Amino acid sequence: MSFPPERASDRDAGFPAGSPPRLRKEWEDTKPGDEDGEAAFKVLSREEAQALKAANLPLSPWRIVAWQALAGMVSVALWGFVTRQGGQAASALWGAVATVVPSALMAWGMTRRPALNAGTAVLSLMVWELIKISLTLAILVAVVWRVEYLSWPALLVTMVVCLKANWLALLRWGRIKN
């Protein structure tokens, strides 16, 4: 099997001599007229910019907390209805509390004042995430010490349901495309 002779552009692109022609395709992200290799920049009109901004409204962290609380309430109701035991429903309630309260605290902390720059925004995110994890662990330790008839499956399943409610919120507001 023989391949066409090597071209100078193939050598410049880093392809080895004698490589198959399918590897020699030109880069697909360059368009005619882009001599420097950068994509053309399109300036938006005022109406186009407003339409783009209206189509991409920011998602409030409070909506995500509300979805978590709703998922927790549904889970508590289901545990109580299906098992007919108050201990199961109480354990599920503690699972919801251990998820929703730290998330609400983090949402409050992240939205109370805007970050001055990207570095402080990242630092703020890390600090509030550490506070959220610490509060979650503190709630769980307190529940283990204080709740007499604790149902671990009810507590953990409700925590997972509440944590996965974030995806429901993102799907609801169109942030995840199917």
Residues 147-164 pLDDT 10s = 888 999 999 999 999 999
Based on the fold, state whether residues 70 and 131 are members of the same structural domain: yes
- Domain of 153 in residue numbering reads as 60-172
Lowest mean pLDDT among 10-19, 61-70, 124-133: 10-19
Per the domain annotation, does 177 fall within a domain?
Answer: no
Per the domain annotation, does 3 fall within a domain?
Answer: no
State the amino acid at position 176 in one-letter form.
Answer: I
Tokens matching residue 18: 């004698």
- How many domains, in total, are found in the chain? 2
Q: Residue 100, CB half-sphere, CA atoms under 13 Å: how many?
A: 23
Contact status, residue 105 vs residue 127, Cβ threshold 8 Å: no
Based on the fold, state whether residues 71 and 113 are members of the same structural domain: yes
Question: How many residues does this entry show for the chain?
Answer: 178
Instruction: Check residue 24 and give its pLDDT.
Output: 47
Per the domain annotation, does 1 fall within a domain?
Answer: no
Residue 35: how many other CB atoms lie within 10 Å? 7
d(CA 129, CA 113): 16
pTM check: above 0.95: no
* pLDDT 10s digits, 70-112: 999 999 999 999 998 888 999 999 999 999 999 999 999 988 8
